[in-house]
Structure 1
Amino acid sequence: MTEYSINGKSSNEPRVDQLVDIKEYEGWDTLTLEIEVTIPEGLLGKVFPEFGKIPGMLVVTAHCRETYLRERFVLARDPISSGTYEGTWEFDAKDVRGSVNLRPILIRTTDTSQSMNYATNAGVFVADGPEWRLDISDTSGKDQDLLDVRTKSFEEVHEADDDTRFPPSDRLYYLDLEGDPDLPVLWLNEDHEKVTTVMQDAESEHEKQVSDLVWNQVMTPVWTRLVTIAATEYDPDEDDWTPEWQGAVFDELHDELYPDHTPEKTAERLQEDLSESVVLATKKVEDAVQELLEPADYYTKHIQNLTER
């Protein structure tokens, strides 16, 4: 990342290598990054057996753990060659929080059977570069905590304790709101190793898109349950959110639920709607979660990737 600008104003250069720190800026709407990636001489010959028109794609991936954002920015594709590529990537404030990791990746775009000494399948990445971090806001404080993601074998838990609150070993995940009421924990079941590995350590571009779909499927009911519980337990007479994660839920979703409402007013309004009509209120919650997670976009990208392959 060579330069960055906030709300389209004057550009700044990163002060530290591999880090862009914009935590000092508050209330911004758009962040523009100037990106530069160099494919050094000799690299392509090491990872592609082809000569001349090399069937590759150079992308920069972005992953924000706080918002579950996974996006990619294509700098060049089919054919590619050694040299420096530049591009401009714009982020919206509502899509990123905490920190974002960006990494340049070189991907094969067509299958080949020329040599077993090379990656042969379209969609796999064949080289990557140094990872950069974009620090947006400080989420280290407890009041910013929303969801802790951990892994555990559900089968081992049941072998050790017949009365455990964990679900059976055929389940993929468990949203634990009982162990620590102040901090929800999303447990991923290690018994499904192939799935959880892709969710947490996806490598190829195809795996990353599969990971996006799995996370989206998991987070849809998780968000629905969190916001419903938070609304039901909300006490408008209290000055502070108790527990604090419930306030974080409405900080994230209040615009999608009731535009122009504060998080507190949104919680109160949803609580009233739930008492009047559970059917209509849960429909509103489901619509808001879909607007937040945008599942159709992720499935469209996955389908397009399968079509390209």
Structure 2
Amino acid sequence: MTRRSQRHRTTTLPFSYRNKGVGFDLDSFAVDDRERTALELNPSQTEIDLASAVSSSDSSAESDWSTLTLNGELRLPEDTVQAVFPEDERAQPPAKLYVTIRCHETIYRDRTIVSEAPTTPGEYDVELEIPKDTVRGTVELRPYLVRTEAHPREEPNDYADQKNFRVASGTLYYVVVDGGEEEERAAIDGERVRFSQNAHLPDGNKLYYLDFRNEGRPKLWINSDHPRIAEVLQSRGSVGAEARMRDVILDQVSYGVWVQLLVRAGTAVNAEGEVEHEWQEMVLQTFVRNLYDTSDVSEATHRFRDDLSDPQTLPHVMQRIDSELQEYIDPREQLIHLMEEGLQI
């Protein structure tokens, strides 16, 4: 079974991809302004339980926290670069290196850029900040090497040639930040309920509904009239068919949710470039710089607001939103995992 899965993994994509092409080690963590603490992980350990550590590092510490910082190292070997880039690009690979930060329970995704293009073989220090108000339960961390330039070629070959194609990845870590005993407030509340029995929810077979009746605290409703889907969404595992199906469903839901949140946040920006609610600021901080390829959040926010309000630019900004969310969510990855599971059934 293992050999069959590995063979399929190498042929699923139409270009060379290294699933374990980026080395990733975490060696320490810090909570807020407390001292850094070493992580003593076993060689194959990928789950890191920091629930008690973030609550208090000693008996006198406060039980609350705001930011968890993880430190470590990424390693990009020479053989990975040789495997995923043609010879004429290997000296200065057109690629960036980043670590994704994902939390299923809050539908939160972010990434930390470790190296901009060109990214050459070597070792890179990494520092990952996880804000408490964006996550709950378990946070997933994984590194990716991503192509940054399109390079169409006349003759077919084994290399990716489009911008934003991921060409290598590394170890997936699961960081437990709380035990789930206390109900922390996520950036967006979520609840499963039967739509057919609630007048304020839409009729029909809708899978989800994003409720803005309280603009300061949007709520995501999942329709439990579909019991099998609701059951899969409650799956807590990280491998197996149910976990893969859960991830694909969550990708579909999160795409629609992020589109709505982005448009709502962008149209709420005032003349000074400010918004009223915390979730709006979080959404803008996460996306607008990438939408306009700038590091200036204020400039990107103003441009986003203007583009949404102009019928001439609205179709173009929606296209940019679609492109950014496809990279941000990367539904292809979860679909590939699901197909791999299906081939083994």
Structure 1 unaligned residues grouped into runs of 5+ = 34-61, 70-89, 104-130, 159-163
Paired with 1:95 and 1:294, the residues of 2 have a C-alpha distance of 20
Q: CA deviation at 1:262?
A: 3.7
RMSD: 4.0
Which of residues 297, 319, 333 in structure 2 aligns to 1:297? 333
- Stretches of structure 2 that go unaligned for 5 or more consecutive residues are 1-25, 31-35, 41-47, 56-64, 75-101, 110-124, 141-173
Task: Look up the SS of the partner of 2:295 in the other structure.
Answer: coil
Out of 224, 230, 254, the residue aligned to residue 190 of structure 1 is 224
Q: Does 1:19 align with 2:59?
A: no
Task: Name 1:259's counterpart in structure 2.
Answer: 293
CA spacing shift, 1:256–1:92, aligned 2, 3 Å: farther
The secondary structure found in structure 1 opposite 2:254 is helix
Matches of 1:11 and 1:146 in 2, distance apart?
A: 28
**Count of residue pairs brought into register by the alignment:** 215
CA contact (8 A) 2:288 2:304 kept: no
TM-fit CA distance, 1:288 = 1.4
Matched, 1:287 2:313: no
SS of corresponding position for 1:201: coil
Question: Offset of 1:197 from its aligned partner?
Answer: 1.4
Question: Any residues of structure 2 matched to 1:167-186 within 5 Å, and which?
Answer: 167-178=202-213, 180-186=214-220
- 1:254 Cα deviation from its structure 2 partner: 2.8
Distance 1:217 1:289 in 2: 11
CA contact (8 A) 2:294 2:300 kept: no
Aligned AA for 1:257? L
2:44 counterpart of 1:5 = no
Contact 1:32 1:91 (8 Å CA) reproduced:
yes
Identical columns (%): 20
Counterpart of 1:213 in 2: which secondary structure? helix
* Greater RCO (CA < 8 Å, at least 6 residues apart): 2
Task: Name which one, 1 or 2, has greater alpha-carbon Rg.
Answer: 1
Distance in 2 (CA, whole Å) between partners of 1:303 and 1:235 is 45
* Mapped partners of 1:11, 1:244: distance in 2: 31
Displacement after TM superposition at 1:265 (Å): 2.9
What is the deviation of 1:205? 1.6
What does residue range 219-238 of structure 1 map to in structure 2 within 5 Å? 219-237=254-272
- CA deviation after TM superposition for structure 1 residue 22, in Å: 6.3
Go from structure 1 to structure 2 and tell me whether the alpha carbon gap of 1:32 and 1:191 turns closer, same or farther (over 3 Å shift).
Answer: farther
Cα deviation, 1:256-298, whole Å, max 9, x if unaligned, reads 3223334433221111222141110100111111121111111
CA displacement, residues 98-120 of structure 1 (integer Å, 9 cap, x when unaligned): 355389xxxxxxxxxxxxxxxxx
Amino acid at match of 1:230: A
Aligned residue for 2:234, secondary structure, equals: helix
CA distance in 2, matches of 1:102, 1:177: 26
TM-score, normalised relative to structure 1: 0.57
Report the secondary structure of 1:5's partner residue.
strand
Pick one of 82, 101, 105 that aligns with 2:138.
Answer: 101
Query: Structure 1's 291 and 215: CA in aligned 2 closer, same or farther, altered over 3 A?
Result: same
- Inter-partner Cα distance in structure 2 for 1:132 and 1:95: 10
* Match for residue 253 of structure 2 among 218, 226, 243: 218
Per the TM alignment, residue 5 of structure 1 is displaced from its structure 2 partner at its CA by 2.7
Alignment of 1:117-136 (within 5 A): 133-134=176-177
The alpha carbon displacement at 1:151 in A equals 1.4
- CA apart distance, 1:66: 3.7
CA deviation string 1:85-105 (max 9, x = no partner) = xxxxx99838996355389xx
CA distance in 2 between partners of 1:64 and 1:187 (Å): 15
TM-score calculated relative to the size of structure 2? 0.52
The 8 Å contact of residues 256 and 288 in structure 1, kept in 2 or not, is answered as yes
Residue number in structure 2 paired with 1:121: none
Give the secondary structure class of the aligned counterpart of 2:198.
helix
CA distance in 2, matches of 1:92, 1:297: 24
Q: Does 1:199 align with 2:233?
A: yes
Of 198, 205, 212, the match for 1:157? 198
